Amino acid sequence: MSIPNPQPNQPNQPNPYQQPPNPYQQPPGAVPPQAYGQPPGPYGQQPGPYGQPPAPPAPPAGPRKPTPGWVWGIGGVVVASALWAGALFATGNLGSDSGGGGGDADADLAGYQYTKDLCDVSPLDAFKKKYEIDPDAATLTDYTSRQKAFDQSYCSRKLKDPDASADSYSSIFVYSTARWHKKTDPAGDFASEQKAYEDQSQKTYSYKTKAVSGIGDEAFLVTETSGTGDDDLNGMTLAVREGWFTYQMHWSSYAGTDDKSEPPTASEVEEMLTSDTRAAMDGLKK
């Protein structure tokens, strides 16, 4: 029911009840930007409904019936189970969200050790032959997360082409993500996740996925190009799975129209990704 305005607005007078527009409100159906600078992916989940349906009303009270004897037996089992669970908590044998290196006893992490500083074990020596790492600390992003299902470390760095002009608008980044799966073997979904990138292809950009051998149990190279030519290279990702451990390194580049530096070829980027991914995975086994 609307509340009548006790003092109707006069012509050319502001409405005291009208709220100013919210500059941060997104239009209906807007999709939030992808987090962490990763290439767009088809795996985002839609948010669930807000709130739960109301609980059904309680049944009407009736005459109290005597409690059967078997109910008391179940009650004893419940009490014993509660005491057993309490003992597990007291001895620290029950897992928690804090991680702590736990997880499923069957998890095969292939000898890869969790680390908080993924940037430290991936110095990007191969990329340094072509680029310089931007010394500005604001361009470095790293984080770590430890959960019941997996542990994860992330590192993002901005690179500079020494041959680019001083006023170049080029933007080059390398992102690395390591994940230690502790509850679910990622082998069943790993190949499909990489091949699904191809379904995101549009008229202005496209993805191609190919399997590569000689690294991990399985690995895939995802190449992103723009326009109609295969030489318009925008990004490339090398994703590797070994056991229940997964690692991916992504290179992305945007060159300004006035940039006179020579961009690397797809084969050169693949070689740099492969070399630096191997080095990072070796560092995680030490």
Contacts of residue 55, Cβ cutoff 8 Å, sequence gap at least 6: none
Over the stretch 203-238, which tens digit does the pLDDT of each residue have?
888 999 999 999 999 999 999 998 655 568 999 999
Residue 244 has pLDDT above 70, yes or no: yes
Least confident of 13-22, 125-134, 275-284: 13-22
Three-state secondary-structure class, residue 28: coil
d(CA 211, CA 233): 19
d(CA 221, CA 233): 13
Structure tokens at 170: 């080029």
Average pLDDT over residues 1-20: 48
Summary mean pLDDT of the chain: 74
d(CA 76, CA 117): 49
Residue 267 is predicted with a pLDDT of 96
Q: pTM (2 decimals)?
A: 0.64
Residue 242 has pLDDT above 90, yes or no: yes
Residue 203 is predicted with a pLDDT of 87
d(CA 213, CA 40): 25
Structural domains of the chain sorted by starting position, each given as residue range(s) with its CATH number in brackets: 118-283 (3.40.1000)
